[in-house]
Structure 1
């Protein structure tokens, strides 16, 4: 095997590659349900659901899906927040032979219609608080809907529960209780490792949804890699707070612990106090988050008096983690903060930091069986030094964009006979083989001919003690073409001191300097967020244009 530069900092206790099993997604749950049948698979606000019970629910729903006439070649949507129903639906659809379509809980009707047409959607499984859009799809396209109540899986809560979770809402369509009631098992459909298994949508840089088609192989390989790298065992307790409908939460917070026979403590919606109490009461060991969750968590009072001693792994993904946030998390949990990197097109992480050799503001090294290179943004050829576009290849690459052959073709580049995915991220590799992302190719600000990478400036702005969040965008400027502007959310001390926008500009001039620092600052109550919790810089950029 070719020796890669990053093998010198590879964890000594891990192999360089993994032999991934040839199986379907649903088999990831069938195995632990037999091995750990009496063990808690899920903890849902105090309600403990054992692996055997979870698997029975999956078999019942799978049988019902087949009774409705759906199976191989059909596509079934899951439009839910984190819940037992999400996990049951995910594995049941797979076991029926159908394809899972991940649908964001925040979908508007126009986008939902697009997805329904694009996939020829056959059914949607949802919960009552999200029923409006699925039911509108039912009325427009006659798509059947299975609908449940989140509170059906809650008994005696022992951590804070969002009010909407406990709400007794009206349901329409097939009641969840009917779909999962005990019935003779109709068996399973074996699709094969390379069969279409899941479609996850990404808006990319154009805003037009693109369905990333994944196979059983690509989904499973990513989850197994997440388990082995984090040394996740059957005794682990994972905090399932990152959204399951997004590949980061799906791979790390749901599939990885299921594969390992671990327990998932589910939070339907992020709440910092609920997360802290879950860590304390359930003795959570593993937690993968996104930056807004960490901002919220670190903003809580009296954290030094809380018990985080059970934690064995903390990490982040989905968006670059500002250095100061990672450092504060390490101070709080007394373990390394491990950042990773991936895309919807790769079903999650392709890179991750070695815990013993972690670097902040670094996406890490290519994980098991992956390779990555830096290519010139002008010529598309590999470069040995300097900055360029990151390209990746590995076992979890998608097969292409649904119904978009041209986009699929343009997404890949051939290097020495090997197909690499163009990530659209600009970065570089250091002398140890660690990769760093500078920014999105499409997000770059061109200030008088100088390239400014906003994500880099975002992170530097957080060094100001009065700044809670910041998002840098380009704003049209008659002299420089584009000028650097920062939207800033202040902490309470800064608001109380009535600090001014110009004071922030003067601080940035001194601390960041050069052509990079924001010449314009605008205070804002909160930054817009995507459904996955990332800062939606596109909305702010469009506002400027």
Structure 2
């Protein structure tokens, strides 16, 4: 067991945490019994108590079961941050189903894959996203789409600027198989006894894993409970905390830090559907926000806004996140403005968020942190499997209670994701890094071919496979390009079929926007007459990648010695 980091462990925190042997739903049930009149959710000045939250969860769970949803079935959740997201998530768990949270930027080709892969029969989606789902009714096993308008939970007047999605009125369901949110809540059905336990399936977020084909990461209530509980103990969070929820809840980082964790503690979550740095500052001041987890690009945007000093942000006692390394000058500004260090962490979809976190009292800059509760992490030579010493770069591997069970229906891919060390099974992260003499881990590079655009993971092979559906594209290679704001941007190098040479970059970009998530759409399309290939006919993506970054490297003007 790796223990080099223990001298730097958070003061007062135990080295081991015994996890609840219950389902995740029980956390909400217990919080509602303890604090029925306490505010659970604030949504643009509308307050929802824990008693109200549990009541609507129970009603929606009753509806799910009345529609034939049973233990182990998959309920697909397709919307942005909102009370409805939280209600649907916990209602599916209450009905003993498994939640499949989908990126709200997903489009037709991606949705088809998720429906085919999961055999999902019900999709719960936002009204504005319904047009992407309803054409799929009757295909695969999809038989019902439950829709909701975000404005349904604007129940009190607000002076806050609202995103466009919240200004759209509730529309009447007219298509067969489409059911309105309120009709489902009003069905009058009570759910049966809650049967799920720690080992039952809980949540299946999608990750590309070690290749570009989206894979469902199968998590049980036990693995989700692990990072839910770990974070509360690590940050000393209590029922009095107020958590600003800006990270997307479909992603494991937001799901755990900004929904499941606070509900476990009985804390309050202040939910934003769309990121707006001025609204975030207003909410922090108005509701005395104490905790805010984010991605680095979001924190940078917030801290660089003009007039930030006019807000009272003194209630904040924790700001942290990940997705990319925090720039030193921005971290210094945070320290100067609020007296807080930006606490960085590290995790994966396969680990249900964090496996490593920086201790609040002794964090290190641009550092993944130290292994969290009951996590054993090592650095190995990815070829030989031999364990490496401090400051030697290799693949980061880890084991712990938050590790997923495997990729959904892909046993071979699951097997490849693990390695045995000293008779124990470790997850191969695919990330290159090292640890220092204090046991703090640092990332150096990625073994996997992955682009990190503002914290969003873009898998080139997945984007390529979608782009090859365009009739004009003969060959394409997706690489990363340096971007001052996002860190990395997606770039596609394309050759066209001879008869389609009149196709423009705008033509391809517009097609991509209609067929894939916005963050996957290449920011740049570059046409080439040919793309380099190996003797075996494989595109030399690494050569193209290196050429791209070399072309953007600063040119030295010094004379040398």
Q: Which of the five TM-score ranges fits, normalised by the shorter chain?
A: 0.7 to 0.9
TM, length-normalised to structure 2: 0.80
Is residue 2:115 matched to residue 1:116? yes
Is residue 2:247 matched to residue 1:242? yes
Is the 1:295–1:468 contact (alpha carbons within 8 Å) kept by the matching residues of 2?
no
Is the 2:2–2:377 contact (alpha carbons within 8 Å) kept by the matching residues of 1?
no
Once the two structures are superposed, the pairs formed by residues 73-472 of structure 1 within 5 Å of their partners are 73-141=72-140, 142-154=142-154, 155-170=156-171, 172=173, 173-181=178-186, 183=188, 185-204=190-209, 206-385=211-390, 386-443=392-449, 468-471=485-488
2:240 is paired with a residue whose SS is coil
Aligned partner of 1:19 in structure 2 is 18
Is the 2:37–2:49 contact (alpha carbons within 8 Å) kept by the matching residues of 1?
yes
Is the 2:2–2:376 contact (alpha carbons within 8 Å) kept by the matching residues of 1?
no
Q: What is the distance in 2 between the residues matched to 1:72 and 1:509? A: 66
TM, length-normalised to structure 1: 0.82
Q: What is the distance in 2 between the residues matched to 1:271 and 1:482? A: 34
1:125 is paired with a residue whose SS is strand
Q: What is the distance in 1 between the residues matched to 2:208 and 2:231? A: 24
Is the 2:227–2:354 contact (alpha carbons within 8 Å) kept by the matching residues of 1?
yes
Is the 2:204–2:217 contact (alpha carbons within 8 Å) kept by the matching residues of 1?
yes
Q: What is the distance in 2 between the residues matched to 1:307 and 1:412? A: 48
State the shift of 1:325 in Å. Answer: 3.1
State the shift of 1:304 in Å. Answer: 2.4
Q: Spell out, residue by residue over 1:310-364, the C-alpha distance to the aligned partner (whole angstroms, 9 max, x if none).
A: 1010001234333333333333321111101000000000000001110010010
Q: What is the distance in 2 between the residues matched to 1:322 and 1:204? A: 27
Aligned partner of 2:537 in structure 1 is none
Q: What is the distance in 1 between the residues matched to 2:324 and 2:192? A: 40
2:292 is paired with a residue whose SS is strand
Is the 1:18–1:368 contact (alpha carbons within 8 Å) kept by the matching residues of 2?
yes
Q: What is the distance in 2 between the residues matched to 1:413 and 1:202? A: 19
**Which sections of structure 2, spanning at least 5 residues, go unmatched?**
452-481, 494-530, 533-539
Is the 2:25–2:90 contact (alpha carbons within 8 Å) kept by the matching residues of 1?
yes
Q: What is the distance in 2 between the residues matched to 1:95 and 1:372? A: 34
Is the 2:63–2:189 contact (alpha carbons within 8 Å) kept by the matching residues of 1?
no
1:373 is paired with a residue whose SS is strand
State the shift of 1:190 in Å. Answer: 1.5
Aligned partner of 2:471 in structure 1 is none
State the shift of 1:122 in Å. Answer: 1.6
Is the 1:473–1:484 contact (alpha carbons within 8 Å) kept by the matching residues of 2?
no
Is the 2:210–2:417 contact (alpha carbons within 8 Å) kept by the matching residues of 1?
no
1:357 is paired with a residue whose SS is coil
Runs of 4+ in 1 over 6 A off after TM superposition: 472-478
414 and 426 in structure 1: CA distance in 2 versus 1, 3 angstrom threshold: same
Is the 2:35–2:266 contact (alpha carbons within 8 Å) kept by the matching residues of 1?
yes
State the shift of 1:297 in Å. Answer: 1.2
Is the 2:63–2:187 contact (alpha carbons within 8 Å) kept by the matching residues of 1?
no
**Which sections of structure 1, spanning at least 5 residues, go unmatched?**
446-460, 488-500, 514-545
Q: What is the distance in 2 between the residues matched to 1:123 and 1:78? A: 9
Is the 1:42–1:264 contact (alpha carbons within 8 Å) kept by the matching residues of 2?
yes
Q: What is the distance in 2 between the residues matched to 1:127 and 1:272? A: 23
Q: Spell out, residue by residue over 1:466-521, the C-alpha distance to the aligned partner (whole angstroms, 9 max, x if none).
A: x545438999999x88646459xxxxxxxxxxxxx99x824x777xx9xxxxxxxx
RMSD of the TM alignment (CA)? 2.6
Q: Spell out, residue by residue over 1:183-203, the C-alpha distance to the aligned partner (whole angstroms, 9 max, x if none).
A: 352333222211111111012
Aligned partner of 2:464 in structure 1 is none
Is the 1:126–1:145 contact (alpha carbons within 8 Å) kept by the matching residues of 2?
yes
State the shift of 1:247 in Å. Answer: 0.2
Is the 1:129–1:169 contact (alpha carbons within 8 Å) kept by the matching residues of 2?
no
Q: What is the distance in 1 between the residues matched to 2:342 and 2:186? A: 43
Is the 1:327–1:337 contact (alpha carbons within 8 Å) kept by the matching residues of 2?
no
188 and 269 in structure 1: CA distance in 2 versus 1, 3 angstrom threshold: farther
State the shift of 1:305 in Å. Answer: 2.5
Q: What is the distance in 2 between the residues matched to 1:209 and 1:166? A: 33
Aligned partner of 1:49 in structure 2 is 48
